[in-house]
Amino acid sequence: MRRDQPLFKGLRSFLSYLETQGQLVRIREPVSVVHEITEIHRRVLQRNGPALLFESPIKADGAASGMPVLVNLFGTRERVAWGLGVDPEHLPVLGQALAELSEPEPPHSLADAMAKLPLARGIMAMRPKSIDTPPVHDIVWRDDSIDLTRLPVQVCWPGEPAPLVTWPMVVTRPPDDETDANVNVGVYRMQVLDRDRLILRWLAHRGGARHHHLWKARGLDMPVAIAIGADPAMMLTAALPLPETLSEFRFAGLLRGARLPLARCISVPLMVPAEAEIVIEGTVSPDETAPEGPFGDHTGYYNAVENFPVMRVSAITMRWKPTYFSTFTGRPPDEPSRIGEVFNELLVPLVRKRIPEIVDLWLPPEACSYRIAVASISKRYPGQARRVMLALWSMLPQLTYTKFLILVDPDIDVRNWSDVMWAIATRSDPSRDLVTLTDTPIDYLDFASPKPGLGGKVGIDATTKLPPETDREWGRVLDMDEAVVARVSELWQRLGLPSDFESTEKQQ
């Protein structure tokens, strides 16, 4: 797999690289983790600004923290691409490699086999390696020294009841399987209850919740490890919607182009990234829950208060002079939506591999990443748009929760709302071109749905209609003669009109 950037062993090497690129600002002024960091982060992110390292944060209890807080690490498309190991212009190549990995095809010739060798070598690098004396064990808190309030955990929005760990890499595994192959690493927010308890908010379809269900069925406590801050490939992998059969640890190794170093936890039977800044270890009981929230979410609203499992902390380990990694979630643009834009680019080759007639796919970040999708298709037969809609809704978890799905022709730019709205207005009719579903799985966090986790879906077929989809003569799209376009372009400099008006390309 192509790798354009140097191998970042951990968060620190990535920060050093960003500093050389002018993409990291150190803030020495004392700033509170209660709301102030969020507001600074929000303003900088909206301007595509740099990563921010707050060197003198003030904790929620008003005390100064000797632990810096890092935010906006992935606040631009460029930094997300770097974290994945490629330059931004090579994201499509990475997407193609991911599509091949998800559904590999046998080589058709010797040349084809040679072309696949880099991917094969990458797969060989996927198996993690164990480190006996990892940096993350430089400092160990156990027993009475365990105290989550010593960490500079953010309170992002007014009205939130407690500090919230916003980017924890939650490591879980099923019972009777301690291999890395079936480990799940997911990002689930965590409310700090007190010095040694956290609330884990994971939704039913997530890997961590699935593992907890298996442990709960046996009446056993589930071991959990929370890694905060690691190499960028690992952190981004934890947020990727990978197939359940693919371990995040192994996939991170593929992105790195090198085996991921892991360390054995000191109090639970789990492995964690050896270069992590902080690791919180503990267990989740089969039945202990606590009310979580309300907290600000990616929808731009506060979530309702609901009960979720409680984690009891058995140890906290960290590197010397660790950095606490954090973010906020809110109405886009926020950091997760910027990451989502890059993940959208990586998703397109996978979708096209499974549904070949798809030309392009866009998940508008303004629509909370996946609640609206626009896809263009190469249409060849009547009813094809409806078939593609049903295929997309059943394909991936993110698209399963898409409420509004718009299908257009290849001449429509799916990322241009002017194009999409024109297609809806001129190529669709509500009496024929709406596909509606009811009582289907929907995002549990979507309070607009009539029932928690269940709601409706609408598909809009805004493609050109083919008989027998219509009995009418279909209109011809207006288009200027190419010779006239070329002639006017030659004349332009002599017309006395501003050069800004010369281009005939549509404004985005």
Domain CATH number, residue 445: 3.40.1670.10
In this predicted model, what pLDDT tens digit does every residue of 135-182 receive, in sequence order?
A: 999 999 999 999 999 999 999 999 999 999 999 999 999 998 877 778
Tens-place pLDDT, residues 300-356: 999 989 999 999 999 999 999 999 999 999 999 999 999 999 999 999 998 998 899
Give the pLDDT score at 100. 77
Residues 267 and 387 in one domain: no
Using pLDDT thresholds of 50, 70 and 90, give the confidence band for residue 103.
low
Of 461, 480, 503, which closes a domain?
A: 461
At 182-237, the pLDDT tens digits run 899 999 999 999 999 999 998 877 889 999 999 999 999 999 999 999 999 999 99
Same domain, 319 and 370: no
Q: Is the pLDDT of residue 13 over 90?
A: yes
Q: What is the DSSP letter of 89?
A: G
Q: What's 106's domain CATH number?
A: 2.30.110.10
Render pLDDT for 257-287 as a digit per residue (tens, 0 to 9).
889 999 999 999 999 999 999 999 999 999 9
Verify that 300 and 374 share a domain, yes or no: no
Q: How many CB atoms lie within 10 A of CB 362?
A: 22
Residue pLDDT, tens place only, 17-58: 999 999 999 999 999 999 999 999 999 999 999 999 999 999
Known catalytic residues are 297
The structure tokens listed for 152 are 């500079």
Does a structural domain hold residue 267? yes
For the whole model, what pTM was predicted? 0.91
Q: Which domain holds residue 126?
A: 11-325
Q: How far apart are CA 34 and CA 17, in angstroms?
A: 29
Q: Which residues lie closer than 8 Å to 461 by C-beta, 6 or more apart?
A: 385, 386, 389, 407, 428, 432, 433, 434, 435
> What is the distance, to the nearest Å, from the Cα of residue 263 to the centroid of all Cα atoms in its chain?
25
Closest Cα partner for 2 from 79, 86, 68? 86
Query: Domain boundary residue among 304, 325, 346?
Result: 325
What residue ranges in 1-128 does DSSP mark as E strands? Answer: 24-27, 31-32, 51-54, 57-58, 69-71
pLDDT digits (tens, 9 = 90+) for 455-473: 999 999 999 999 999 999 9
The number of domains in the chain is 2
One domain, residues 269 and 390? no
Cβ atoms 183, 247 nearer than 8 A: yes
Question: 30-39, 421-430, 442-451: lowest mean pLDDT where?
Answer: 442-451
- For residue 6 the two structure tokens come to 């140097």
Residue 112 confidence (pLDDT) above 60: no
Cis omega before residue 68 (within 30°)? no
**Residue 347 is assigned to a structural domain of this protein:** no
